[in-house]
Amino acid sequence: MNWTMRRHLWKYYHDIHSLLSGKGHKKRAFLKSLKADVRDYIEENAVTDISLIQQQFGRPEEIADSYFSELSGVKLARQMRWLKVFRIVSAVLIVGMLFFLVTFVRLARENISHSIEITVETDKPQE
């Protein structure tokens, strides 16, 4: 398999991966099985063009649709709920970290200006 074909396959797998939600073992198993099937097809038919792969297995959107049709409605809803919770928790953590950073910088500035004032006052010569 040449370099160009490997690059097209990488993009093909990447596009499929980005269309699938969640990070579960079923997603990994699905992608692993798909890659094995594609690899076998390439070896058996000496495929050198990504369009032949897409004709045989489908475009990334079609593959994602078939993956979602295999999932039950309950499992899909659970995955989507966890994804929503993950996004909310991530956003809260980022906002909290930014708040902490801003507060820390303000306190550091106040301490620096306070220590400069003290230093200036103590450096005055005695009369």
Identify whether residues 91 and 61 lie together within a single domain.
Answer: no
Shared-domain flag, residues 1 and 47: yes
pLDDT tens-digit series, residues 27-67:
888 899 999 999 999 999 888 889 999 999 999 999 988 88
Domain assignment of residue 113, given as a range:
73-127
Shared domain for 103 and 82, answered yes or no, is yes
Write down which residue in 71, 100, 116 finishes a domain.
71
Q: Are residues 4 and 51 in the same domain?
A: yes
Percent with pLDDT over 70 in the chain: 82
pLDDT at 48: 85
Number of separate domains in the chain: 2
Judgement on whether residues 121 and 99 belong to the same structural domain of the protein: yes
Residue 54 shares a structural domain with residue 85: no
Q: Calculate the average pLDDT of the chain.
A: 84
As a three-state string, the secondary structure of the chain is CCHHHHHHHHHHHHHHHHHCCCCCHHHHHHHHHHHHHHHHHHHHHCCCCHHHHHHHHCCHHHHHHHHHHHCCHHHHHHHHHHHHHHHHHHHHHHHHHHHHHHHHHHHHHHHHHHHHHHHHHHCCCCC
- Cα torsion through 49, 54, 8, 13, rounded to 10: -150
Instruction: Give pLDDT tens digits for 86-117.
Output: 999 999 999 999 999 999 988 888 777 666 55
pLDDT of residue 91: 96
